[in-house]
Amino acid sequence: MDYAIETNGLTKVFGDLIAVDHINIKIKEGTINGFIGPNGAGKSTTMKMLIGALHPTNGSGVIKGHPLGSMEAKQLLGYSPEHPKFYEDMKAHKYLVYMGMVCGMSRQAATTRASELLKWLNIQDFAEKKVQGFSAGMRQKLSLAQSMIHEPEILILDEPTANLDPAGRHSIIENLKELCKEMNVTVFISSHILAELEKLVSGVTLINHGKIVVESDVASLGRKISGNRFVLKTSNNQKILSELESKGYIKYGEIDENDTIHLVAEGDELQFKKNVTKVVLMNDVWLEKFNLEASDLESVFMQLVGEGEEKQEAVRQDAHKPFWRFWK
């Protein structure tokens, strides 16, 4: 398996604070991967170690086989920070050309590339405007352009859509999808806008208190968290719910405002399905819906982060199971 990014026990300590605690990350080439966690979880610190801006206290990592912080690794990377800084008196196009030349591009190549990126991000009308007059959203777009000026193979993006309006965020998401598909660029992206991130990424890494809670493909993660949670709808929900409760088939059940039963199953999933089917048939009711309850990325995040260390450790211990692996 070819990995664009791989770390082994990567750790960063600031005084008494363990900001990143022995994390192992594997990101396959040509994929878009989300990096999520609450504020202070260690996301930005991890990203800064990946690009070589911070040295690990312990552990190691490689970028396509090259050690973190090496010149070979840096040449493969493009980075957009959460709070980008610029030379305020420079015009946008000139700034991108300058950054391209810093990366080793010729002036001609950097000039052409800068114009392409400004158009791609729909800020070409501001090419000859000074950065100091840019809005927060425009700065975010310019930072993204800067990260891509030298056509890197790997993009590390820290909250790249944070200051954009919905249309701007949608545009960036679609652009990144196109970039990954057509150019085989690997994208490692953090974002607090989980509903939009879910539309973009194929895999996700959740970090909390400096430790990885889970690393998985999005679809498997949703199924795993759903676990023994089901939705059921029949022509007589109250009767069926009462029957399931009386027979001890469920741990919990409730009927929502849309007249749908939400269940937490007791015991084996296959046996539970058989039990529900039997109860429905015996009570002569019409079955309209019966399936696992879907979990979106935001609900998964809230469940794992909100459950505390005991739940997170249980999830980490479960990670060795084949169903739970990020890439099989």
Q: Are residues 7 and 144 in the same domain?
A: yes
Q: Are residues 31 and 143 in the same domain?
A: yes
Q: Are residues 309 and 256 in the same domain?
A: yes
**Of 179, 209, 239, the domain-final residue:** 209
Is residue 214 domain-resident? no
Q: Are residues 205 and 270 in the same domain?
A: no
Q: What is the CATH number of the domain that holds 103?
A: 3.40.50.300
Is residue 293 domain-resident? yes
Domain that holds residue 289: 219-328
Structure tokens that stand for 249 in this block = 């088939």
> What pairing do the DSSP bridges indicate for beta strands 229-234 and 26-28?
unpaired
Q: Are residues 54 and 170 in the same domain?
A: yes
pLDDT of residue 323: 26
Is residue 263 domain-resident? yes
182-203: string of b/e by CB count within 10 Å (b at 16+)?
eeebbbbbbbebbebbbebbbb
Task: State the Cα–Cα distance between residues 105 and 113, nearest whole angstrom.
Answer: 10
Q: Are residues 273 and 328 in the same domain?
A: yes
Q: Are residues 193 and 224 in the same domain?
A: no
**Of 209, 234, 258, the domain-final residue:** 209
Q: Are residues 254 and 116 in the same domain?
A: no
Q: What is the CATH number of the domain that holds 325?
A: 3.30.70.100
Q: Are residues 147 and 288 in the same domain?
A: no
pLDDT of residue 172: 85
Q: Give average pLDDT by consecutive 10-residue segment, the chain, 328 residues.
A: 91 96 94 91 95 96 96 95 93 97 95 96 94 92 95 94 83 86 91 82 90 81 65 93 92 87 84 92 92 70 60 43 26
Q: Are residues 132 and 180 in the same domain?
A: yes
Is residue 251 domain-resident? yes
**Of 177, 209, 241, the domain-final residue:** 209
Domain count, the chain: 2
Q: Are residues 173 and 224 in the same domain?
A: no
pLDDT of residue 190: 93
Q: Are residues 74 and 150 in the same domain?
A: yes
Length of the chain in residues, anyone?
328
65-80: string of b/e by CB count within 10 Å (b at 16+)?
ebebbeeebbebbbbb
Is residue 318 domain-resident? yes
Is residue 196 domain-resident? yes
